[in-house]
Amino acid sequence: MPNPKPKLEGEVYYPSEAVKAQANVPDWEAMAEHARHDLQGFWAERAEELEWFQKWDKVLDDSNKPFFKWFVGGKTNIVHNAIDRHLNTARKNKLALIWESEKGDQQRTFSYFSLNREVSRFANIIKAMGVQKGDRVTIYLPRIPEISFAMLACAKIGAVHSVVFAGFSVDALQGRIEDSQSKLVITADGSYQNGKVVELKRTVDEALKKCPSVENVIVVRRVGHDVPMEASRDHWYHDMCALPIANGKCATEVLDAEDPLYILYTSGSTGKPKAILHTHGGYMVGTYTTLKYVFDLKDDDRWWCAADPGWVTGHSYIVYAPLILGATSFMFEGGPAYPYPNRWWQCIERYGITVFYTAPTAIRGLMRFGEAWPAKHDLSSLRLLGTVGEPINPEAWRWYYRVIGKNQCPIMDTWWQTETGMFMITPTPTVPLKPGSATRPFFGLEAEILDDAGNAVADGEEGYLVLKNPWPAMLRTIYGDDERYVSQYWSKYPGKYLAGDSARRDKDGYFWIIGRVDDVIKVSGHRLGTAEVESALVSHPAVAEAAAIGLPHEVKGTAIHCFCILRSGFAPSEALAEELRQHVAKHMGPIARPEDVKFTDKLPKTRSGKIMRRVLKARAQGLPEGDISTLEE
């Protein structure tokens, strides 16, 4: 294929002949052109590759913007495509999931056949507990196979899962359970983290003191700790499995394409986390297509997405898309550096991983340990790499490319969000790469960079990133808050989706994401809101007012820095700062522990009393404060 634009500017990595020869999208330009001219036709063809109980009448219904609907009139269930349809093929015996424990002392594997058995059993149990179509179920589980089973079981019967990342703590969990009005919570007795036990069940008990909607709790045994069980409410999963009701077939519910699949809470601008709603049909088509084209998956691949199932990356690309593709996935319980910084490389070698996807923060962290650790392992099975979650700095990109990919593996830098459900700005393997750029919008998408007034900025200039076309895996709304959905995403520039990121585009049409422009902080790729951190701080008796901002951090990308005004009677001290850091970690979760807490007498505010975090951030970095005309003092 002739390269349409051979002279790209800057540091460019072109695909090898070997990569081109096997790519699922051999001709990027042709496919982009097709989708540009016939958006609905493009997505309809993708949807036809999957199974539907009844075909859709309309691919896209945009009669009530921005409440777009996809595959209207179609009947399906994502689980039918992720599991059931494989059972009538040779894939029935193929490995769907390989799992390894943190310490490496346990391995579990599941074929598609046994995955179906596990999911059906889980579904039978939650059904027997009275969970019905449309009911919300909160899942608070570590990286163990049961998290996938629980999510798929909900989807199978048409219940709506709401997964809360197991690194969150009491306040975060309680707020999410309460907002979703879940009837059932699925958790574990505990989880392992770097050799220590995290007491998940105790956190659930604490949270449920204020959540009257919850009728039942299912507890998966993982660490074997003795945990208090409340007789009428709490049930061991293994006890339930032994009941006759658990075994036997469980029919996959026939659903409308637009029936809700899950909600996932994420932080936005000030205020409590928003429940992003995804639906069965469009999400299934969008995640399937992007994984197939971007990570080029083939039947003999072994895919490892090293994210946590508790975030959107895990939802889309650990749990759903790989199964829809009939792929073999690997799930690892632990982190990259426990007990030694070769843990991931050891897994790649041990399981022959071919395509590996992680976050820049992990790469930067592992880089610090040096090349000797990956050098101990045979990584030659790898053929493609990926990153997500935050911008990747070119040094980390080059290290990943050279030391892990041995200069052979293109790196797919995928920009997307909880809201988008699927990769949005991303290369496919044949696209020439520039370290630090997510390259170009995926097929059928158009992105723009606008200034405050809504005019497109010149190439090379920074502005607000927006998306112009709808896509099948897009969020449908904020659960229970249609108004906020419209105001948050579709109001600044009517008719265009506001991503909340700043970015620039270069002369070659490549996009460079700079970072969030709202009150979201990306800490080690985890999406956190300043509001939640601040409310954890003011729940401490010493704190009258608090502001949290993100500042650059070498490994984490961004780290949380806090400023507190103390109540009278409390004096600033090192010990109090430390106590406040612990307090946030205890209430919100260790991932939200502030890097640093400073005390102050005043916070910069607008005349209407809103904290100007932007000004705090500029001051902390010694940068110009920008427009401060609305500043109070």
Q: Where do contacts with ligand WTA occur on this chain (CB under 6 A)?
A: 266, 311-313, 388-391, 413-418, 438, 499-501, 513, 515-516, 522, 527
Measured distance CA(595)–CA(553) in Å, rounded: 9
Residue 182 or 266: which CB sits closer to ligand WTA?
A: 266
Smallest distance from the beta carbon of 413 to ligand WTA, in angstroms?
A: 5
Residue 320 or 351: which CB sits closer to ligand WTA?
A: 320
Residue 169 or 414: which CB sits closer to ligand WTA?
A: 414
Measured distance CA(512)–CA(506) in Å, rounded: 8
Give me the residue label for tokens 């000030």. Answer: 270
Structure tokens at 581: 């850091």
Contact indicator for 257, 282 with CB cutoff of 8 Å: yes
Residue 169 or 267: which CB sits closer to ligand WTA?
A: 267
Residue 141 or 312: which CB sits closer to ligand WTA?
A: 312
Contact indicator for 42, 34 with CB cutoff of 8 Å: yes
Measured distance CA(521)–CA(527) in Å, rounded: 6
Q: Dihedral (C-alpha) 98, 102, 106, 111: value to the nearest 10 degrees?
A: -10
Residue 156 or 315: which CB sits closer to ligand WTA?
A: 315
Residue 362 or 546: which CB sits closer to ligand WTA?
A: 362
- Which residues, 6 or more positions from 143, have their beta carbon under 8 angstroms from its beta carbon? 166, 191, 308, 309, 331, 332, 333, 334
Residue 119 or 384: which CB sits closer to ligand WTA?
A: 384
Smallest distance from the beta carbon of 527 to ligand WTA, in angstroms?
A: 4
Residue 120 or 477: which CB sits closer to ligand WTA?
A: 477
Measured distance CA(368)–CA(351) in Å, rounded: 25
- The CA angle 80-315-183, to the nearest 5 degrees, is 80
Smallest distance from the beta carbon of 408 to ligand WTA, in angstroms?
A: 21
Residue 77 or 414: which CB sits closer to ligand WTA?
A: 414
Smallest distance from the beta carbon of 415 to ligand WTA, in angstroms?
A: 4
Residue 358 or 417: which CB sits closer to ligand WTA?
A: 417
Residue 74 or 360: which CB sits closer to ligand WTA?
A: 360
Smallest distance from the beta carbon of 522 to ligand WTA, in angstroms?
A: 6
Tell me, rounded to whole angstroms, the distance of Cα 597 from its chain centroid: 28
Q: What phi, psi does 217 have (nearest 5°)? A: -130, 125
- The CA angle 396-401-407, to the nearest 5 degrees, is 155
Contact indicator for 33, 52 with CB cutoff of 8 Å: no
Measured distance CA(354)–CA(385) in Å, rounded: 9
Sequence letter at residue 155 = A
Smallest distance from the beta carbon of 512 to ligand WTA, in angstroms?
A: 9
Sequence letter at residue 17 = E
Residue 52 or 317: which CB sits closer to ligand WTA?
A: 317
Closest to 102 (Cα-Cα) out of 188, 192, 190, 189: 192
Cβ-count burial of 555 within 10 angstroms (0-12 exposed, 13-18 middle, 19+ buried)? middle
Q: What phi, psi does 584 have (nearest 5°)? A: -65, -45
User: How is residue 93 annotated by DSSP?
Assistant: G
Q: Provide the 10 A C-beta neighbour count for residue 235.
A: 19
Measured distance CA(166)–CA(180) in Å, rounded: 17
Q: Which residues of 248-257 are buried (b: 16+ CB within 10 A; e: fewer)?
A: eebebbebbb
Residue 303 or 415: which CB sits closer to ligand WTA?
A: 415
Residue 131 or 412: which CB sits closer to ligand WTA?
A: 412
Smallest distance from the beta carbon of 426 to ligand WTA, in angstroms?
A: 8
Smallest distance from the beta carbon of 183 to ligand WTA, in angstroms?
A: 26
Measured distance CA(342)–CA(70) in Å, rounded: 44
Structure tokens at 459: 């190439």
Smallest distance from the beta carbon of 428 to ligand WTA, in angstroms?
A: 14
Smallest distance from the beta carbon of 491 to ligand WTA, in angstroms?
A: 18
Closest to 216 (Cα-Cα) out of 234, 228, 229: 234
DSSP, collapsed to helix, strand or coil, labels residue 546 as strand
Smallest distance from the beta carbon of 587 to ligand WTA, in angstroms?
A: 21
Cβ-count burial of 231 within 10 angstroms (0-12 exposed, 13-18 middle, 19+ buried)? exposed
Smallest distance from the beta carbon of 332 to ligand WTA, in angstroms?
A: 19
Closest to 592 (Cα-Cα) out of 273, 146, 219: 273
First and final C-alpha spacing in the chain: 62
- Which residues, 6 or more positions from 35, have their beta carbon under 8 angstroms from its beta carbon? 42, 443, 444
Smallest distance from the beta carbon of 418 to ligand WTA, in angstroms?
A: 3
Closest to 181 (Cα-Cα) out of 138, 234, 125: 138
Contact indicator for 563, 554 with CB cutoff of 8 Å: no
Smallest distance from the beta carbon of 80 to ligand WTA, in angstroms?
A: 26
Smallest distance from the beta carbon of 324 to ligand WTA, in angstroms?
A: 18
Smallest distance from the beta carbon of 564 to ligand WTA, in angstroms?
A: 26
Residue 296 or 419: which CB sits closer to ligand WTA?
A: 419
